Amino acid sequence: MKTLLPLLLVVVVGGVFGCTGRDAQSDFGNVSPDELESLLNAGDAVAVDANGPSMRSRFGTIPDAVLLSDNKTYDPAEELPSQKQRQLVFYCANTMCGAAPTAAQRAKAAGYENVLVMKEGIMGWAKAGKSVSGGSAG
């Protein structure tokens, strides 16, 4: 039972926060919070938040991130930058959340060329001491 408890916790927490419960491994390159912060400060990337409203309400968002309506059914033509060569970095909750890779795959399928994922998600971003907009966790 002790070995099942961590797995059960991941599945329950993932379900509560709108994540898939999988480990977020994907075909996309991973950037760390420090790397993303550097890209954003240089104007070389756009952060894309694939979290749902409850996750955003609790943990906030990366300042100026594009907030997707849904990680599976959003309209890339309406919600993402029009320049398909623009560097996009998708994030969700944490390394156990699959919303960012799911949303990134949708962008790739729509013809976006430079798509990365920050697997640490908003929780890793905040843990690294980066600025967060909104949220009630603290």
SS3 112: coil
Q: What pLDDT does 28 receive?
A: 87
Residue carrying the six token digits 């329950």:
12
What does CATH list as the number for 18-127?
A: 3.40.250.10
User: Phi first, then psi: what are they for 114, rounded to 5°?
Assistant: -120, 90
What is the per-residue pLDDT for 26? Answer: 52
Residue 7: per-residue pLDDT: 34
Closest CA to 112 of 80, 134, 64: 80
Could you tell me the pTM of the whole model?
Answer: 0.81
pLDDT mean by block of 10 residues, the chain; 138 residues? 38 42 61 97 97 95 97 96 96 96 96 96 97 82
pLDDT at 83: 95
